[in-house]
Amino acid sequence: MKIAIVDDEAEARKELQLVLHSCGLELVEQAELYPFASGEEFLAGFRPDSFQLVFLDIRMQGINGIETARLIRKQAAQLPIVFLTSSADYALEGYQVFPAGYLLKPVGKVRAQLLDILQRCLPEASSVLTVQLNGRALQIARARIAYVDVKGNRRVGGRRGCVVHLLTGRELAVDSSYPEVAAALRSADFVECYNHLLVHFAAVEQLLADGFELKNGERVPISRRLYRETSHDYMEYLLRK
């Protein structure tokens, strides 16, 4: 994919490029990044299919970010635009061009917010889970995950890791902690049905009186405390599908 960064500050462009290349989303980390020093420079060669995502600094010399966004919208109504700003003063005016989000500079201090925006406006970027295994990054397709728990007593660097259970029955004991993995998988399709057990609804074959039977034949429990809420969430998931 191609991402444009439009900002008249060279250091700001460089910082955002570094943050995007280490954000943890493979699609974004491998994207082609195109820096532009002004709205005029960006618009000179812009076409509706030029980019899949645009970062726009609001306060620029010449054509500012909001005016640049208005001109983009005349050609590309659905293109995700993320505003960069050092102040929230322009938020109301900016919403007239339907941005995907706002990031306060410096972006290095709002990585979590950036990741949230990327996952919302680029759904395909969230198709993998990135974990740490033996000190290296490992990416697992979410569609392959049945559930995640803290089986055993695996500890890495003084803290407990977790186990990612795949639909094939394979178990991956990873270094990433359960809270880290649960936060990364936070969506309507992954729900904690038991203490430190996160199940993937797409892996469920049927709802039982005390748990789930999975498509690979395994069974995972649902706590009595969470049964009503979990079963309701599962029914809503089935209706969406």
Tokens encoding 202: 């797409």
Give which of 144, 149, 177, 183 is closest to 163, Cα–Cα: 149
pLDDT at 83: 93
Q: For residues 230 and 232, give the distance between their C-alpha atoms in angstroms, rounded to a whole number.
A: 5
pLDDT digit string (tens) for 133-161?
888 888 888 888 999 998 755 554 445 78
**Residue 130 · residue 180 · CB < 8 Å:** no
Residue with tokens 């439009």: 6
- pTM, two decimals, is 0.56
Token pair for 156 = 């890495």
Q: What is the pLDDT of residue 156?
A: 47
Look at residue 157 in the predicted model and tell me its pLDDT.
Answer: 47
SS3 at position 36: strand
Using one digit for the tens of pLDDT, what is the confidence trace for 40-54? Answer: 999 999 998 899 999
- Do residues 153 and 159 touch, judged by C-beta distance below 8 A? no
What's the average pLDDT block by block, 10 residues per block, for the chain (241 residues)? Answer: 95 95 80 96 93 94 92 92 80 66 90 83 74 84 90 55 92 90 80 94 95 96 95 89 67
All domains of the chain in start order, with CATH: 2-125 (3.40.50.2300), 128-240 (2.40.50.1020)
